[in-house]
Chains A and B, each alone.
Chain A
Amino acid sequence: MTTPGAPALELRGINKHFGPVHANRDVNLSVRGGTIHGIVGENGAGKSTLMSILYGFYQADSGQIEIAGTPTAIDGPEDALAAGIGMVHQHFMLVDNFSVLENILLGAEGGALLAGGLAAARAEVTRLEAEYGLEVDPDAVVGELAVGLRQRVELLKALYRGANILILDEPTGVLTPQEADRLFEILRAMRAQGVTVILITHKLQEIMAITDNVSVMRAGEMVAHRETAQTTREELAELMVGRQVLLRVEKTAAQPGDVVLAADGLTRIDDAGVMRLDHVSFQLRAGEIVGVAGVTGNGQSELLAVLSGIQAPDDGRLTVHGRVVDADHPCDPAEMRQLNLAHVPEDRQRMGLISPFAAWETTILGYHHDPAYTGTVLLKTDAIIADTDGKMSRFDVRPPNPQLASDSFSGGNQQKLVLAREIERQPEILLVGQPTRGVDIGAIEFIHRQLIQMRDGGCGVLLVSVELEEILSLSDRILVMFEGRIVGEVDGADADARTIGLMMANAHETAAETKAGVV
């Protein structure tokens, strides 16, 4: 373990090009040993590139890496591991049908026969668990563990390999607030033991809550280093975006009108026979935003799929504009659009747009039968391109070129294209999934204002998001989903993160575990 205070890691003048893109430009970074160091920046600011260089996935074009004062060449993940650098990826790199112990051993099996390695690993894992408070059953099958526990396996894996510099890439993206708190306790325990932690995140409240120092990246450059105690969220946000941003969404009280969409006992069973939606009932009124909170994978995606007509309900009824949808009378997405229902899907890459299509082709997806876009035989290409030009300028899509392929836009600009397509139809019902996932702060502000405007214009908005802060700041009412059920409804005005967090983790179980000291 490095001595606290001395730099555990120094990066000097790191440059990296991808073709014409300068992803890292003269980046300097000094991380003191035994501290938690945050790195914030918008999508595409170069954080992940920098960490990939550090972990040996990429090689820098120029620059120097020093670990504990020694210049070190890192040509691959093996070198990084040998230098004591461990990485926990945003998407876990675990073998689902292996046990925890087998996963930890992966890549460090230590010989042709497993038994010896397993025994050594068991002893070491027990020690690590005790030292850092990382309780997890070594014999459990990883696929059966909750997400928070899987992350602990990743942490154990890195520590088992002897990491004393640990890089965490967006570690809380999939966690409930309680699980995130627990993770932070573990990170603090690691810091106390002298482990250096580098935390990459775009959530400023996490930076404020846990880090000692923070570095801000923007457009490939390191623009500022701050001691966390000496800075504020507002300052960091401004540094990230390069201008002042509004973190709070300003909105007036909702004026709910008639019910525009009513779900009554909606149930959806997937192909594997798992009940994904379990008798979900709620109503959506004109002029209100109803937020659906929940940890990823608790039925929110299926709810959106059923409401938008992509999947038919197996049981229950859905009423949209007097049209009753049930198992025997399914409604396809095209018909739903005719009922004035628009849908901004959760996963814009997989559903909201078609990567190789030009932007103008993406802006008619789902509306390509509209006489404004197509004649009897031929598409009205010129009219569509003119329409896309207008959308791009109204929604500030950059670069404003309708001929560019959809996947050559940044996440925020892609989302603006999808939003422009769905919102400008003036829908009466708007389903929105993860509107700001992978979207930079500047665009988040814009998207949130658009959603509020839709609401004020009398549209009923159903907002599904795993970003609790987003739900809290936009919703007039909040529904909480757990294992396919709606486990609670809270008025937007009196909601707070803690109550909703408890509901998201299913209150009873969590409360019991809190008493037992194990969350």
Chain B
Amino acid sequence: MASAPDKLPAWVDIGLLPVINVALAFMVSGLLIAALGQDPFEATWVMIRGAFGYEESLGYTFYYTTNFVFTGLAVAVAFHAGLFNIGGEGQAYIGGLGVGLAFLALDQYLPFALMLPICIIAAALFGAGWAYIPAYLQAKRGSHIVITTIMFNFIAASLMVYLLVNVMIQPGQMSPETREFNSATWLPYMHEALAWFGVEVAQSPLNLSIIWALICCVLVWGLIWHTRWGYEIRAVGANMSAAVYAGMPPARIIIVTMCISGALSGFVAINEIMGVHHKLLLDFAAGYGFTGIAVSLMGRNHPVGIVLAGLLFGALYQGGAELAFENSAFTPDLIVVIQGLVVLFSGALSYMLRGPAERLYFALATPKPAEA
């Protein structure tokens, strides 16, 4: 009956704590860098400059961010229904299969204006389809979705290798890739699009899919907090028995939510396949699906947070690549370690500092008399 302690104010919980977590990750990284005999401050500077310092680096950062926004949103949507979708990687990969098939079948006949919606739908359908099976197994058979989605990542990887090596490979070449798509149907790069308006920027892989990513943020925000379907998703996630009491069908909601989540993961292929590679190839998902879990956790499953966390991880990817390029002491493995530390502190350990912060905050805040 004792009243529970009040919650931390929002600015501490979603503002200060993530910043401290990231700072801790950088401190530990700094110690590591110092132990290797390098100057951590210089390394940090190189990373920041490499991520934001000039037009081309910004383009790369935003290009990575686009992927993280898609996969972060995917994890967040599932999370609101209490589902931990670890399968973003596989769903993105299979989303690519959908986009690739659409291009191979239609790119000679249809203009870009038609290819764009068709590819978006294909990416969504294939991503959703790949999420449907684990969702069905969870909803109807009780197979744990964490296990099944992990397994479906492996199945997706094997399936894509088989298809690209044996079926979809362009005849007469060695590397397991499809032919290049008709260049008239590619998603324009940002530097091309801006050039139409007379703005000249440096070339980078950043393309118009970032706009779709931001639209998806708005759509997800509206869905989760402003529609009755989002209401049902959150109800199922927060309190299953209350959802059943309210007459909601949990199995259907689980399946639909996972399909939305899979579709969002599938959109990685719009950026990668339609926007950058222009052909279907192996391993284009490159871990974006997994990093999306950290992005979503760090962004507190909210689209605004996901954009910010996506930006951080985009900067880490790009700045890390720059660091490895500039200083040979920083091997790509070390960059992965730094990224891993950020994931560790802001994802897995994101609640580590919550308790101490709560105690400190309430010790500092002067006790007010109880409401009588």
With A and B bound together, what is the CA distance between A411 and B368 in angstroms?
Answer: 23
Chain A: which residue is nearest B235 at the CB level? A354
Is residue B141 within 8 Å, beta carbon to beta carbon, of the partner chain?
no
Is residue A457 within 8 Å, beta carbon to beta carbon, of the partner chain?
no
Within 8 A of A (CB), among B1-18: 1-6
For the complex formed, measure the closest distance between the CB of A307 and the CB atoms of chain B, giving whole angstroms.
Answer: 12
User: Given A48-B1, A361-B231 in contact, is the A368-B246 Cβ separation under 8 Å?
Assistant: yes
Within 8 A of B (CB), among A239-262: none
Is residue B203 within 8 Å, beta carbon to beta carbon, of the partner chain?
no
Q: CB-CB < 8 A to B174: which residues of A? A: none
Is residue B322 within 8 Å, beta carbon to beta carbon, of the partner chain?
no
Chain A: which residue is nearest B368 at the CB level? A20
Residue contact A366 to B370, C-beta cutoff 8 Å: no
Residue contact A368 to B242, C-beta cutoff 8 Å: no
Instruction: Select one of B1, B227, B239, B370 contacting A378, CB under 8 A.
Output: B227
Question: How does the 8 Å CB contact mask read for A351-374 relative to B, with 1 for contact and 0 for none?
Answer: 111111100010011101100011
Is residue B53 within 8 Å, beta carbon to beta carbon, of the partner chain?
no
Q: CB-CB < 8 A to A352: which residues of B? A: 242, 245
Is residue B226 within 8 Å, beta carbon to beta carbon, of the partner chain?
yes
Q: CB-CB < 8 A to A47: which residues of B? A: 1
Q: CB-CB < 8 A to B370: which residues of A? A: 20-23, 25, 219-220
Chain B: which residue is nearest A381 at the CB level? B226
Q: CB-CB < 8 A to A434: which residues of B? A: none
Is residue A52 within 8 Å, beta carbon to beta carbon, of the partner chain?
yes
For the complex formed, measure the closest distance between the CB of B238 and the CB atoms of chain A, giving whole angstroms.
Answer: 5
Q: CB-CB < 8 A to B365: which residues of A? A: 19-20
Residue contact A332 to B6, C-beta cutoff 8 Å: no
With A and B bound together, what is the CA distance between A356 and B228 in angstroms?
Answer: 16
Question: How does the 8 Å CB contact mask read for B223-242 relative to A, with 1 for contact and 0 for none?
Answer: 00011100110110011011
Is residue B356 within 8 Å, beta carbon to beta carbon, of the partner chain?
no
Most buried by B among A25, A335, A351: A351
Chain B: which residue is nearest A369 at the CB level? B228
For the complex formed, measure the closest distance between the CB of B13 and the CB atoms of chain A, giving whole angstroms.
Answer: 13
Is residue A309 within 8 Å, beta carbon to beta carbon, of the partner chain?
yes
For the complex formed, measure the closest distance between the CB of B263 and the CB atoms of chain A, giving whole angstroms.
Answer: 18
Is residue B362 within 8 Å, beta carbon to beta carbon, of the partner chain?
yes
With A and B bound together, what is the CA distance between A354 and B241 in angstroms?
Answer: 9
Chain B: which residue is nearest A221 at the CB level? B372
Is residue A504 within 8 Å, beta carbon to beta carbon, of the partner chain?
no
Residue contact A334 to B247, C-beta cutoff 8 Å: yes
For the complex formed, measure the closest distance between the CB of A407 and the CB atoms of chain B, giving whole angstroms.
Answer: 9
Q: CB-CB < 8 A to A191: which residues of B? A: none
Instruction: Select one of A21, A22, A308, A373 contacting B245, CB under 8 A.
Output: A308
Instruction: Select one of A49, A337, A355, A357 contacting B1, CB under 8 A.
Output: A49
Is residue A157 within 8 Å, beta carbon to beta carbon, of the partner chain?
no
Q: How many A-B residue pairs have CB under 8 A?
A: 110
For the complex formed, measure the closest distance between the CB of B230 and the CB atoms of chain A, giving whole angstroms.
Answer: 8
Is residue B222 within 8 Å, beta carbon to beta carbon, of the partner chain?
yes
Residue contact A354 to B369, C-beta cutoff 8 Å: no
Instruction: Select one of A18, A334, A368 contacting B231, CB under 8 A.
Output: A368
Residue contact A379 to B1, C-beta cutoff 8 Å: no
User: Given A17-B367, A379-B228, A381-B226 in contact, is the A337-B239 Cβ separation under 8 Å?
Assistant: no
Is residue B353 within 8 Å, beta carbon to beta carbon, of the partner chain?
no
With A and B bound together, what is the CA distance between A20 and B367 in angstroms?
Answer: 5
Is residue A345 within 8 Å, beta carbon to beta carbon, of the partner chain?
yes
With A and B bound together, what is the CA distance between A22 and B372 in angstroms?
Answer: 9
Is residue B151 within 8 Å, beta carbon to beta carbon, of the partner chain?
no
Is residue A343 within 8 Å, beta carbon to beta carbon, of the partner chain?
yes
Residue contact B242 to A365, C-beta cutoff 8 Å: yes
For the complex formed, measure the closest distance between the CB of A403 and the CB atoms of chain B, giving whole angstroms.
Answer: 13
Q: CB-CB < 8 A to A402: which residues of B? A: none
For the complex formed, measure the closest distance between the CB of A325 and the CB atoms of chain B, giving whole angstroms.
Answer: 14
Chain A: which residue is nearest B370 at the CB level? A22
Interface size in chain A (residues, C-beta < 8 A): 50
Most buried by A among B1, B5, B234: B1
Q: CB-CB < 8 A to B111: which residues of A? A: none
Q: CB-CB < 8 A to A333: which residues of B? A: 244-247
User: Given A18-B3, A310-B244 in contact, is the A357-B238 Cβ separation under 8 Å?
Assistant: yes
Is residue B287 within 8 Å, beta carbon to beta carbon, of the partner chain?
no
User: Given A334-B247, A351-B242, A366-B245 in contact, is the A52-B2 Cβ separation under 8 Å?
Assistant: yes
Is residue A506 within 8 Å, beta carbon to beta carbon, of the partner chain?
no
Most buried by A among B227, B239, B242, B367: B242
Is residue B249 within 8 Å, beta carbon to beta carbon, of the partner chain?
yes
Most buried by A among B235, B248, B249, B370: B370
Interface residues on B, range: 20 to 34
Q: CB-CB < 8 A to B228: which residues of A? A: 368-369, 373-374, 379
Is residue A44 within 8 Å, beta carbon to beta carbon, of the partner chain?
yes
Q: CB-CB < 8 A to B226: which residues of A? A: 378-379, 381
Instruction: Select one of B245, B367, B369 contacting A310, CB under 8 A.
Output: B245
With A and B bound together, what is the CA distance between A219 and B232 in angstroms?
Answer: 37
Instruction: Select one of A19, A52, A219, A351 contacting B372, CB under 8 A.
Output: A219
Question: How does the 8 Å CB contact mask read for A368-388 relative to B, with 1 for contact and 0 for none?
Answer: 110001100111010000000
With A and B bound together, what is the CA distance between A415 and B372 in angstroms?
Answer: 20
Residue contact A45 to B246, C-beta cutoff 8 Å: no
Instruction: Select one of A17, A19, A309 contacting B247, CB under 8 A.
Output: A309
User: Given A219-B370, A351-B242, A368-B232 in contact, is the A19-B362 Cβ separation under 8 Å?
Assistant: yes
Q: CB-CB < 8 A to B4: which residues of A? A: 18
Is residue A43 within 8 Å, beta carbon to beta carbon, of the partner chain?
yes
Q: CB-CB < 8 A to A374: which residues of B? A: 227-228
Is residue A394 within 8 Å, beta carbon to beta carbon, of the partner chain?
no
Question: How does the 8 Å CB contact mask read for A200-222 relative to B, with 1 for contact and 0 for none?
Answer: 00000000000000000001100
User: Given A22-B370, A378-B227, A381-B226 in contact, is the A356-B5 Cβ separation under 8 Å?
Assistant: no
Q: CB-CB < 8 A to B362: which residues of A? A: 19
Q: CB-CB < 8 A to A343: which residues of B? A: 245
Instruction: Select one of B1, B227, B232, B245 contacting A45, CB under 8 A.
Output: B1
Within 8 A of A (CB), among B286-333: none
Chain A: which residue is nearest B8 at the CB level? A19
Within 8 A of B (CB), among A9-45: 17-23, 25, 43-45
With A and B bound together, what is the CA distance between A48 and B3 in angstroms?
Answer: 10
For the complex formed, measure the closest distance between the CB of B83 and the CB atoms of chain A, giving whole angstroms.
Answer: 17
Within 8 A of A (CB), among B188-232: 222, 226-228, 231-232
Q: CB-CB < 8 A to A501: which residues of B? A: none
Question: How does the 8 Å CB contact mask read for A278-313 relative to B, with 1 for contact and 0 for none?
Answer: 000000000000000000000000000000111000
Chain B: which residue is nearest A367 at the CB level? B246
Chain A: which residue is nearest B2 at the CB level? A49
Residue contact B2 to A354, C-beta cutoff 8 Å: no
Chain A: which residue is nearest B231 at the CB level? A368
Residue contact A365 to B6, C-beta cutoff 8 Å: no
Question: CB within 8 Å of B: which residues of A?
Answer: 17-23, 25, 43-49, 52, 58, 219-220, 308-310, 332-337, 343, 345, 350-357, 361, 364-366, 368-369, 373-374, 377-379, 381
Show 23 A/B contacts (Cβ-Cβ < 8 Å), sorted by A. Answer: A17-B367, A19-B362, A20-B365, A23-B2, A23-B3, A25-B370, A44-B1, A44-B3, A49-B1, A308-B245, A333-B244, A334-B248, A336-B247, A343-B245, A352-B242, A352-B245, A354-B238, A365-B245, A368-B231, A373-B228, A374-B227, A378-B222, A379-B226
Starting from the known contacts A20-B368, A48-B2, A374-B228, 19 additional A-B residue pairs (CB-CB under 8 Å) come to A17-B367, A19-B365, A19-B367, A20-B370, A22-B367, A22-B369, A23-B3, A43-B1, A308-B245, A332-B247, A352-B245, A354-B238, A356-B238, A365-B235, A366-B245, A368-B246, A378-B222, A379-B231, A381-B226
**10 closest A-B pairs by CB:** A334-B247, A22-B370, A366-B246, A333-B247, A49-B2, A48-B1, A19-B6, A20-B368, A19-B5, A21-B3
